[in-house]
């Protein structure tokens, strides 16, 4: 559905994109993640045919968007950042206007608008002026205008920014529903949005693509932590230092720190590991040392940590976001 090759874009001296390439097959819901100024909106604007690249190509269904933007725009529904709408228009009139501009034949307009209105849950506000609507409803109007011509591809630039938590949940589930029929590429600062909505995540930093994977696989191979609770198999009193040094010798363990136990006669530790899964050697070491494992809980490196690592330690909102305390290596 999308094929982007070697895309670069300069705004004067600012190089917004430095050679971005990726493909998106039909039917995928892709999250585009990156700190402020990474190049997300620029990529989306190029794809939507509103900005021309300095070099490289963006194709939608084989159509080069810079060569034939009229044809490519028919295939695309675009919700720009900040969702610009005609405030003084009634929702009904606005959608009618968009349908006309989109070139939907007069005989089909009512049916296409009805479909978009039902899909986006707008029936109750059709007679209201847009400026009277809540942010959540305005976003629904933005989505309705994006789907009114039944495009194959939806490009949504930060569709949940500025919404309250209830509205976020509503818009996310609407996007998920739309994603069942359409290819969707959405940009966001919200990491959990990617995890809950997208089957694939692209991370962009400083105009370059730095990751491309399923959200749940991104942290894989980077290690994480295993929290364990241990007890003696014989009832003997456990010596914390001795158990700790035994754990430090388990193959693949890169660090050990104390954690909560489960009461008398138990000890808890948090083990850090790298690429290797340590659970088998951990089990063997426990058995060989007369210990039983009451609890073993593994946690991969989170998407947030992976994001920080790939974007040079910046939070998803950019370099000015307060940073989480760095964990000891
Ligand atoms: N019209 C423009 N003129 C000059 N510079 C621009 C223009 N649009 C974007 N830029 C610059 O290009 C770079 C990439 O901007 P872009 O808006 O694509 O990033 P983004 O990842 O969408 O950021 P954000 O999350 O803040 O929306 C930034 O340095 C930005 O300042």
Note the pLDDT of residue 152.
Answer: 95
**Each residue of 75-101: b (16+ CB within 10 Å) or e?**
bbbbbbeebebeeebbbeebbbebbee
Query: In terms of domains, do 22 and 101 share one?
Result: yes
The total domain count for the chain is 2
Regarding the beta carbon of 98 and ligand 1, being less than 6 Å apart is answered: no
Location of structure tokens 């986006």: 120
Which of 163, 196, 217 is the last residue before a domain boundary? Answer: 217
Of the chain, the percentage scoring pLDDT greater than 90 comes to 65
Query: In terms of domains, do 98 and 229 share one?
Result: no
Cα-to-centroid distance, 163 and ligand 1 (Å): 22
Note the pLDDT of residue 316.
Answer: 53
Query: In terms of domains, do 271 and 239 share one?
Result: yes
Mean pLDDT of 293-301: 86
Query: In terms of domains, do 189 and 271 share one?
Result: no
Query: In terms of domains, do 185 and 208 share one?
Result: yes
Residue 91 maps to a domain:
yes
**Each residue of 182-204: b (16+ CB within 10 Å) or e?**
bbbbbbbbbbebbebbbebbbbb
Mean pLDDT of 97-105: 93
Query: In terms of domains, do 167 and 272 share one?
Result: no
Query: In terms of domains, do 163 and 253 share one?
Result: no
How confident is the model over 233-285, as pLDDT tens digits? 887 888 999 999 999 999 999 999 999 888 888 999 999 988 788 999 999 99
Report the atom number in ligand 1 closest to the C-alpha of 51. Answer: 1
251: containing domain: 224-300
Binned at pLDDT 50, 70 and 90, residue 8 comes out as: very high
User: Is the pLDDT assigned to residue 319 strictly greater than 60?
Assistant: no
Residue nearest to atom 25 of ligand 1 (CA): 36
Note the pLDDT of residue 200.
Answer: 94
Query: In terms of domains, do 211 and 230 share one?
Result: no
How confident is the model over 169-182, as pLDDT tens digits? 888 888 998 899 89
Q: Across the chain, what does the average pLDDT equal?
A: 88
User: Is the pLDDT assigned to residue 293 strictly greater than 60?
Assistant: yes
User: Is the pLDDT assigned to residue 37 strictly greater than 70?
Assistant: yes
Cα-to-centroid distance, 55 and ligand 1 (Å): 17
Which of 217, 246, 276 is the last residue before a domain boundary? Answer: 217
User: Is the pLDDT assigned to residue 329 strictly greater than 60?
Assistant: no
Regarding the beta carbon of 161 and ligand 1, being less than 6 Å apart is answered: no
User: Is the pLDDT assigned to residue 323 strictly greater than 90?
Assistant: no
User: Is the pLDDT assigned to residue 190 strictly greater than 90?
Assistant: no
Query: In terms of domains, do 45 and 138 share one?
Result: yes
Residue 322 maps to a domain:
no
Query: In terms of domains, do 177 and 238 share one?
Result: no
Mean pLDDT of 313-326: 45
Query: In terms of domains, do 236 and 194 share one?
Result: no
Q: Does the complex come out with an ipTM higher than 0.95?
A: yes
Query: In terms of domains, do 166 and 89 share one?
Result: yes
Mean pLDDT of 15-42: 94
Regarding the beta carbon of 14 and ligand 1, being less than 6 Å apart is answered: yes
Contact 39, 8 (CB under 8 A): no
Q: Give the integer Cα–Cα distance in Å for 80 and 59.
A: 19
Q: Give the integer Cα–Cα distance in Å for 176 and 184.
A: 9
Domain of 163, CATH number, reads 3.40.50.300
């Amino acid at each position: 559905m999308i094929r982007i090759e070697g895309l670069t874009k300069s705004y004067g001296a600012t190089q917004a994109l430095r050679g971005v390439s990726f493909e998106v097959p039909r039917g995928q819901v892709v999250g585009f993640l990156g700190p402020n100024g990474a190049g997300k909106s620029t990529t989306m604007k190029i794809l939507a045919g509103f900005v021309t690249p300095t070099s490289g190509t963006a194709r939608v269904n084989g159509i080069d968007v810079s060569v034939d933007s009229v044809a490519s725009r028919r295939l695309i529904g675009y919700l720009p950042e900040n969702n610009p709408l005609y405030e003084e228009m009634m929702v009904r009139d606005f959608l009618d206007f968009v349908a006309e501009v989109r070139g939907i034949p007069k005989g089909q307009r009512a049916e296409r608008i009805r479909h978009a209105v039902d899909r986006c849950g707008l029936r109750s506000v059709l007679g209201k002026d847009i400026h009277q609507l809540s942010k959540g409803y305005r976003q629904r109007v933005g989505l309705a205008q994006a789907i009114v011509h039944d495009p194959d591809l939806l490009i949504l630039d930060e569709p949940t920014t500025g919404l309250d938590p209830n509205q976020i949940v509503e818009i996310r589930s609407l996007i998920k529903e739309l994603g069942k029929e359409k290819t969707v590429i959405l940009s966001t600062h919200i990491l959990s949005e990617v995890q809950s909505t997208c089957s694939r995540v692209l991370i962009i930093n400083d105009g370059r693509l730095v990751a491309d994977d399923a959200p749940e696989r991104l942290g894989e191979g980077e290690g994480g932590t295993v929290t364990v609770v241990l007890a003696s198999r014989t009832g003997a009193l456990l010596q914390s230092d001795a158990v700790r040094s035994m754990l430090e010798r388990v193959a693949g363990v890169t660090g050990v720190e104390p954690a909560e136990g489960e009461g008398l006669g138990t000890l808890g530790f948090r083990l850090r590991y790298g690429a290797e899964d340590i659970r088998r050697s951990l089990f063997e070491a426990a058995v060989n040392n007369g210990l039983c494992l009451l609890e073993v809980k593994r946690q991969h490196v989170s998407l947030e940590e992976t994001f920080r690592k790939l974007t040079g330690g910046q939070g998803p909102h950019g370099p000015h976001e307060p940073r989480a305390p760095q964990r000891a290596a």
